[in-house]
Chains A and B, each alone.
Chain A
Amino acid sequence: MKKISIAIMLAGSMLLAGSAGAAAVDELLQTYAGQGAGAADPGAANTLWTREFRPAGADQDRSCATCHTRNLRQTGKHAKTGKPIDAMAPSVNGKRLTDVKHIEKWFGRNCKWTLGRECSPQEKANFLAFIRGS
């Protein structure tokens, strides 16, 4: 009996986490809109996901897919250390897109590493829409 009530509590907290995720994305989309981003275009992010870049100092081409693979529902792998990276898709990994600071940190690091520059507010909005729908 106790187990069932724990199960219900856990299920409840999972639902809360899910709605918090939506809140994080909505908050950021609003921020990016305030910085000049138009409507988010997931298709554009889909294209950018596999476009290859070679920033100064890189010895190989890089794309988002280098580490995260082309399939957002799949586990990725860090290009250098080989450490597994949990799937990006919220449909298989409920922790994704739930924390504004976390999202901004990784946009900062990964845009600079992959593209060799920061992503624009429009690009970030596109990525959020793309990942959210995956």
Chain B
Amino acid sequence: MKEKLAILITTLALAGVAGEVFSSDDDEHRGAAWGKTADVAAVSNEQYRAECASCHLAYPPGLLPAASWEKIMSGLSDHFGDNAELAPDVTKALTAYLVANGADRVNYRRSVKFARSAGNSAPLRITEIPYFRKEHREIPARMIKTNTQVGSLSNCSACHQRAEAGSFSEREITIPGYGRWDD
């Protein structure tokens, strides 16, 4: 019994610590939402995070134009080879959030660059946008594709530790196994 109580208390203590970490994270998100530190708006929708971040980073909506989000959300039964279907009401709510915060609908510095670069196209992948390609073209494959801790350019947060907070500043890049990126 004593042992069980000790385990319970330890668990609760750990939960307390986790709570602390999460709340300081929230502060960061709030700061980012004011546009002071973010070059893209931070992810601000908890439902979006809950539904989409089980499998991948909750990509900030300001990385793709609104028309791209419309396309992606209308094809969730084949989502880059995965089945990512949602209940119709959830699909509708998340589409509204993503479209309203698409790169061409907001005024964040880097979102504007993504929107201009995409022009009239509605790419399904962030990695197809010319501006994105230009920003990543100097990085050798050994740091991304064949780096087991990264694997793909789609894995933003592997190197951009504050991706969900909308921060992609070059100073913040750390490539796993290689350290800071300096070009």
Residues of A whose CB lies within 8 Å of any CB of B are 7, 10-11, 57, 78, 80-83, 85, 101, 105, 108-110, 112-113
Contact = CB atoms under 8 A, between A and B. Distances in A.
Interface in B42-58: 54-57
A78 B9 contact: no
B87 A101 contact: yes
- State the 10 A-B residue pairs at the shortest beta-carbon distance, nearest first: A109-B83, A112-B83, A113-B83, A81-B56, A7-B12, A78-B55, A10-B12, A81-B55, A82-B151, A109-B85
A81 B154 CA distance: 8
Given A81-B55, A82-B151, A109 B12 contact: no
A57 B86 contact: no
Interface string B62-103: 000000000000000100111111110000000000000000
B141 interface: no
Contact of A108 (B81, B83, B151, B152): B83
Nearest to B13: A7
Contact of B86 (A7, A83, A105, A113): A105
Counting chain A CB atoms within 10 Å of each CB, the highest count among B57, B83, B152 belongs to: B83
Given A81-B56, A82-B151, A57 B87 contact: no
Interface of B: 8-9, 12, 15, 54-57, 77, 80-87, 151-152, 154-155
Nearest to A110: B83
Contacts of A101: 87
A80 B80 CA distance: 10
A85 B56 CA distance: 10
A7 B10 CA distance: 10
Contact of A11 (B8, B57, B80, B81): B8
Contact of A78 (B8, B56, B83): B56
A38 to B, nearest CB: 27
A105 B77 CA distance: 12
Contact of A81 (B9, B85, B155): B155
Contacts of B155: 81-82
Given A81-B55, A109-B83, 8 more contacts: A80-B80, A82-B155, A83-B55, A83-B56, A105-B85, A105-B86, A109-B85, A112-B83
Nearest to B86: A105
A98 to B, nearest CB: 14
A10 to B, nearest CB: 6
24 contacts: A7-B8, A10-B12, A11-B8, A78-B55, A78-B56, A80-B81, A81-B55, A81-B56, A81-B152, A81-B154, A81-B155, A82-B151, A83-B55, A83-B57, A85-B54, A105-B85, A105-B86, A105-B87, A109-B82, A109-B83, A109-B84, A109-B85, A112-B85, A113-B82
B12 A11 contact: yes
